[in-house]
Amino acid sequence: MLYRQRTLETPHGDLETPVLFPVSNVGKRSSDNTPAYADQIPDLRTAMVNARAIRQREPQWERLLDGSSLRQEMGVPDDTIVFADSGGFDFHTETLDTTPEKTLETQIRIDADVFGTVDLPLSREDRQAKNQRRINESIQYALAASDAHEGDSLLFASVHGHDPETVRNSIRYLDRHGDFDGFALGSLVPIRTDYRKTTKLILAARLATDKPLHVYGLGGLVYQPLLLYLGVDTFDSSSFIRSAGNRNYLIPGFGGREMHRIEGLEYLPCPCPVCGPRTTEAVRADRNLLVQHNLWALTIELRRFRYMIAAGEDIESYLELRFQGNDVTHRAYRMAKQQVRRLA
């Protein structure tokens, strides 16, 4: 197992890893979809924001320029640790409309703690030549950000590649030629159902450097234990919002279940502060409650894993049990285990 715990120093305080950065859609048109959670979930003083989206939402950006703080805009405590990515995921379909310097300026302005460099995600459908070009451009943007970056915020170089060789090579190249506090692996969401490939890429990244590794977009219920097992330090997820949008109720160990399929049950099985005191009907009727519960589900997943480590339990046995209910994820875990053991 490659699981590890670390403490990263950030301008807004120490960050104990492994940790989840819940995606906040501040700046997006659907900004209000992210309910306040920082006060309710004490160990979730983190947020992942999209620097490009914030800058592009003019009234909000004006307010930020006028002195308002991002944390106020988000309604989160001042000590919330914010990871601001470049909004690279949008560059799947949209043209790149920023520069490393402009993104850095935005990240500084919103007082983020971790900066993700400008990146161009890959697509399976694109020709290899195009993907190679995008990989290369992302690397050059990262190096430009490294040159321009000053201050205490952590700079994570965004890295892409759909083969382990490229991921390893890119990280080591960046490590050698730039000054980065960590690396963030992207382009995995489109291939997330290919577990073998995804875990191989994560492993390649994890073993290419000892610096902190973030994985973009895979911090949902299914992947989270795998990421922890593979030693990923930080990860983000918007699955709690998206699932709630589809009226899906997340249950650690089981994944998502559509609320309309849950019948004849007065209370839900989750003991979280959202579900514990409320009836099934109350949770079903309020989308915000569903989002909050889903975020609790992600947190509980992480807490469980941490507990198993702290209690000295055999993690591999725990994960065997954990993935037992689903053939696909069970196979995925077994593949990850094989890959990790081959390295041991």
Does 170 interact with other proteins (rule: CB under 8 A)? yes
Does 342 interact with other proteins (rule: CB under 8 A)? no
Residue 69: name the closest of 88, 48, 50, 54 by CA: 54
Q: Which is nearer to other proteins, 159 or 295 (CB)?
A: 159
Q: Contact with other proteins (CB under 8 A): which of 45, 55, 71, 168?
A: 168
Q: Which is nearer to other proteins, 55 or 162 (CB)?
A: 162
Could you tell me where the beta strands, DSSP code E, fall in 31-178? 46-50, 81-85, 114-116, 154-159
The upper half-sphere exposure of residue 237, i.e. CA atoms within 13 Å in the direction of its Cβ, equals 28
Q: Shortest distance, CB of residue 163 to other proteins, whole angstroms? A: 4
User: Residue 6 and residue 18: Cα distance in Å, rounded?
Assistant: 7
Query: In terms of DSSP bridges, do strands 255-258 and 248-251 run parallel, antiparallel, or are they unpaired?
Result: antiparallel
Q: Contact with other proteins (CB under 8 A): which of 76, 171, 202, 297?
A: 171
Does 267 interact with other proteins (rule: CB under 8 A)? no
The upper half-sphere exposure of residue 193, i.e. CA atoms within 13 Å in the direction of its Cβ, equals 2
Give the footprint of other proteins on residues 109-148 (CB under 8 A).
127-129, 132-133, 135-136, 139
Total binding residues toward other proteins, as defined by CB under 8 A: 25
Report yes or no: 213 and 183 within 8 Å, Cβ to Cβ.
Answer: yes
Instruction: Kindly report the length of the chain.
Output: 344
Q: Shortest distance, CB of residue 46 to other proteins, whole angstroms? A: 30
Does 52 interact with other proteins (rule: CB under 8 A)? no
Q: Contact with other proteins (CB under 8 A): which of 8, 82, 174, 340?
A: 174
Q: Which is nearer to other proteins, 170 or 294 (CB)?
A: 170
Q: Shortest distance, CB of residue 138 to other proteins, whole angstroms? A: 9
Q: Shortest distance, CB of residue 236 to other proteins, whole angstroms? A: 25
Question: For 52, which DSSP code?
Answer: H
The letter for the amino acid at 194 is: D
Does 163 interact with other proteins (rule: CB under 8 A)? yes
Report yes or no: 15 and 8 within 8 Å, Cβ to Cβ.
Answer: yes
Q: Enter the tokens of residue 53.
A: 């989206």
Q: Contact with other proteins (CB under 8 A): which of 173, 267, 282, 334?
A: 173
Q: What are phi and psi of 289, to 5 degrees?
A: -65, -40
Report yes or no: 98 and 52 within 8 Å, Cβ to Cβ.
Answer: yes
Give the footprint of other proteins on residues 187-216 (CB under 8 A).
197, 200, 208
Q: Shortest distance, CB of residue 318 to other proteins, whole angstroms? A: 30
Interface segment toward other proteins; rule CB under 8 A; list 162-170, 186-194, 224-232, 327-335: 162-170
Q: Shortest distance, CB of residue 84 to other proteins, whole angstroms? A: 25
Residue 16: name the closest of 296, 272, 306 by CA: 306
Distance from first CA to last CA of the chain, Å, rounded?
9
The residues of the shown chain that bind other proteins, judged by CB under 8 A, are: 127-129, 132-133, 135-136, 139, 161, 163-166, 168-176, 197, 200, 208
